[in-house]
Structure 1
C-alpha cells in the first residue's frame, strides 16, 4: 500500500498531466520500479486541502512499500532541477517571455486608462525551490509561512500544497488562509498583543496556537479563549537585523518566571516558547543565543508543571545567508532541544523575495541641464513608487535596482543592455505621487535614451512590497500578477 502525493486538482492531473506520476514514480530509486501507475490503480480521486485522505496503489512490483508525498515532491524537484542546459528554458526565459507578451500589447498612445499600470511576474517555481532548499538544510523545522510578508493567494495555495503551516498576525490573514480550506491546526496566531474581537474569532474558528509576552495578554486570553495553546515569546538580541522586533515584542528573560507563574495561576495551557531574531537577520549566532534562552525557559517551565513540546524559532531567514543561518540553528537545536521537541519556523521573505519581479511604465520625463557642465540628465517618473510597491525602501530598508525592460521597440530583459553603466545617460527615478519623498533612485546611468512609454523592471520585489501599498493620491494599491512556473512540480500541484 502506497501513500500518494496530494494534488489540488487530482482529476485534472490524471487527465492532463500523467507524466507527473510517471516521472515521480520512476525517480524514486530503490523504492519502486520505473513503471508508472495507471488511473485504474487509483482508488481515491479527490482530496480536501487538509491532506487527511490518501490514494492507494497496490501490488506495484509486488512490493508493499510506503512512499510519502514528500518523496514524490522531492523526486519531481530533482527531475527538473537542471533546467537551463542545452537551450531548455530557464526561469529567466520564462519570466522574460511573460513580460514581453504583456508589454508588447500595450500602446501608450491609445490604451485604456491603467492598461499600462505596473504589474508583477511571479515565478512560483522559485517558491518551490526555496521550499526544497529549506527541507535540505532544516529538515527538523516545519515552516509556517509568514503571511504578512506577501499574502498572495497563489503563494499561499502552493505552500498549502507543499504542506507548510501559516503564521498569521490578524483576523484578515487567518480568514484568508481558512478560506482556502486549510485546517486551523496549521495556523499559529503569532501576534503577542491581539485585538479582543480577533481572539474571539480565532476561538470560533479553532485556531488554538497563539503567542503572548505579557500578563495583561494572559488575562485577556483567560477571559476570551482559555483553551488556547500558548507560546511564550521571549526577547532576543536582534541588533544586527534589518527590522528589529524585540524593541516592541518579547518578554525579557528576567520576567519569564513570573509570566509562567501567572499562566499556571490562571490555569492556561502554555505549550511552547517562541522568539524572533528580527526580519532580515545577518548574524547566524543570534539563533544560537535565542535557542539557548528558550532552553532555559523550557527548564523553568517544568517548575510550574509545564512540559513544553514546541519551539517556534520565528523568522529572520534571508536567502543570501540561509545556509549559514540554518547550520547555526541546527547545531543549537541539536545541543539544546531533545529530539521529541517539535520545532517550527516562520519564514516569509525567504520564500518570496526573489519570486516576484515588478515592471513599471515611464509616465513622464523631465530634462535637467547642469548649469556648469551643461550635461543633460533626466528625471523619470514611473507609475509606481514609495506609496505603492516601493514602500519597502522606507519600511524594510530595501534598495531596488532598476533595469531596462523595454526601450523603443526592443526588449532587454536579462541582457547586458538592461543593466546600468558607468558612462551612459544619467537618470533619477521618481514615483507618481505629489510627495517629494517619492524617490526610487537618486542617480543611475543607462546606455538608452529612455522616454515616456518605456518600461523598467525591478527584481527581488516579493517581500513587504504589495502588502503595504496605499491609495495615496488616488493611485491603485493592487496590481496585476502574472503567474508563471519554472518548476514542473508546481504545474502539477496547482494545475497550471
Structure 2
C-alpha cells in the first residue's frame, strides 16, 4: 500500500523544511474553511496590507493531489514541471512532500536548489540548451538531461561530459492535444539508431527515454502507444550493444479529476505489458497542471464601472497580460464568483436574483485585455471583488508587466488545514 501524507502533522514539516521566508500568520481557520472563507477573512482582517490582486495557494489541495498520485501511480515518481507555476511556496511544499523537479532553464534550477533540494532530484528536461546553460548545469551537479539531436550530443560532450542522457522521442499517434509538443521536440523512430550511436560514440551514457503526449485535451490512450514506442528504443539500444537503460519518462499532460484516473489506468497497464521484465526500471512523470491548476484561486478588485442600458462593464486589476492570460484560449472554462464588499460591506455573501450581461476588462489600455464577455453577474460596485478558481496552471508564469501592471504572482497567501500564511512570492 502506498504511503500517504498525513494531512495535519505534515503541514508543520512543510513550512519548517521548505525554506519559506518572511511568512506571517494571517488568520486561524478551521479545517472546513473554504477558499471563499479564507479570501473574505484576508480582505476583512488585513485591508491595509492587501495589495490586490492576490492569489491563495491551498496546500490542502496539493496534499490531496499528492496522495492521489501516490495511490494511482505508485511506481511513477513525480517530477513537477516548474514552468507551469514557479511559485516558490508551491515548489517548497512539493519538495517537502517528496516530489522531484523538471526544470528547463538555469533560473528554474536555481529556484529549486535554493530550497535545499538535492540536484539529483532534478531532470534538465529541455532537449535544446545553450552552451552556457549546459555549463551551469554541470557546475551545480544537475547530471541528467534530455536530447533529441546530434548537435545537442556534441554540446553536452564538450561542456558536461559526465551528464547522463535521456532520449526524447516523438509519439507517433496523434493524441488530439491542443498543444502538441511534438511539433518542437522529439526524435522520429527512424532517427533513433543514429542518435543512440552518436551518444555512444561520444562516450555519453544514454540512461532512458522520454516523451510527451501533449497538453490540454490529449487522449489518455496515447500513453499506451508512446510507452510501446519507448520500449522499442530500449530494445534498439540493447541491439546496439549499449548499456542497459533504466529510465522511462512518461512526460506530462496530466490533469486532476476523472481524466487522471483514466490516464493512470492506461499507464499502469502499458508499463506492465511492455516493461514487465525490465528490472530496476525507474518510471518518472512530469506533472505540471495536475498539481498547480486547482491549488490557486485569484482575487481581483473592481476598479471601474460603466452602465450601457442592460450591459454592465467592469474593470478589474488583473487581466490577460497578467494572471488571467489563459482566458484567451477557448478551451479554458472560467469559474468566477463575486464578493460584494463595495455594495454591501456587512453582507458579503448575500444573493440577488437579478443578474446582468457583463463585460469584464483588465487594467491595461489594450482593448483586447478583456476577461469576460456577456457573462451573467449581479450588480457590482467599486471595491467589490471577482474571484476566479483554478488559476494555478500557466497563469502567473505567463504574466507580464505590460503597461506597467503586474499580476498576482507577487501576492500569494498560503492556506493549510488550520493556518493561513501571507507571503510575497520571490520566484
Please tell me the TM-score bracket, short chain as reference: 0.7 to 0.9
1:266 aligns with 2:202: yes
Structure 1 residue matching 2:62: 3-state secondary structure? helix
- Greater mean deviation of Cα atoms: 389-398 or 130-139: 389-398
Match of 1:149 among 84, 91, 115: 84
- 2:340 aligned partner: 406
8 Å CA contact 2:294–2:390 kept in 1: the answer is: yes
1:476 aligns with 2:410: no
Shift of the 153–475 alpha-carbon distance from structure 1 to 2, 3 Å rule, reads same
Per the normalisation by structure 2, the TM-score is 0.86
CA shift digits 1:432-459 (9 cap, x unpaired): 111121111111112x211221101000
Match of 2:322 among 378, 382, 388: 388
CA positional deviation for 1:416: 9.1
Q: How far apart, CA to CA, are the structure 2 residues paired with 1:246 and 1:480? A: 35
- 1:127 aligned partner: 62
Q: Which has the larger radius of gyration?
A: 1
CA positional deviation for 1:410: 4.8
- 2:193 aligned partner: 257
8 Å CA contact 1:431–1:440 kept in 2: the answer is: yes
CA positional deviation for 1:171: 0.2
Structure 2 residue matching 1:354: 3-state secondary structure? helix
1:355 aligns with 2:295: yes
CA positional deviation for 1:425: 1.4
1:98 aligns with 2:38: yes
Q: How far apart, CA to CA, are the structure 2 residues paired with 1:439 and 1:265? A: 54
Higher relative contact order by CA 8 Å / sep ≥ 6: 1 or 2? 2
Q: How far apart, CA to CA, are the structure 1 residues paired with 2:327 and 2:128? A: 27
CA positional deviation for 1:412: 8.2
Match of 2:382 among 442, 445, 452: 452
The aligned runs of 1:8-407 (5 Å cut-off) are 20=9, 89-90=31-32, 93-104=33-44, 115-236=50-171, 237-304=173-240, 305-320=242-257, 321-337=259-275, 338-369=278-309, 376-394=310-328, 397-407=331-341
Shift of the 116–261 alpha-carbon distance from structure 1 to 2, 3 Å rule, reads closer
Structure 2 residue matching 1:366: 3-state secondary structure? strand
Structure 1 residue matching 2:63: 3-state secondary structure? helix
Shift of the 270–281 alpha-carbon distance from structure 1 to 2, 3 Å rule, reads farther
8 Å CA contact 1:123–1:484 kept in 2: the answer is: yes
- Greater mean deviation of Cα atoms: 229-238 or 309-318: 229-238
CA shift digits 1:125-182 (9 cap, x unpaired): 1001100000000000000111111111111111111111100010000001111111
Structure 2 residue matching 1:198: 3-state secondary structure? helix
Per the normalisation by structure 1, the TM-score is 0.75
Q: How far apart, CA to CA, are the structure 2 residues paired with 1:147 and 1:212? A: 19
For structure 1, which runs of at least 5 residues remain unmatched after alignment? 8-18, 22-46, 50-86, 370-375, 491-496
Aligned residue pairs: how many?
A: 396
Shift of the 381–5 alpha-carbon distance from structure 1 to 2, 3 Å rule, reads closer
CA shift digits 1:231-283 (9 cap, x unpaired): 00001235422321111111111111111111111111100000011123431
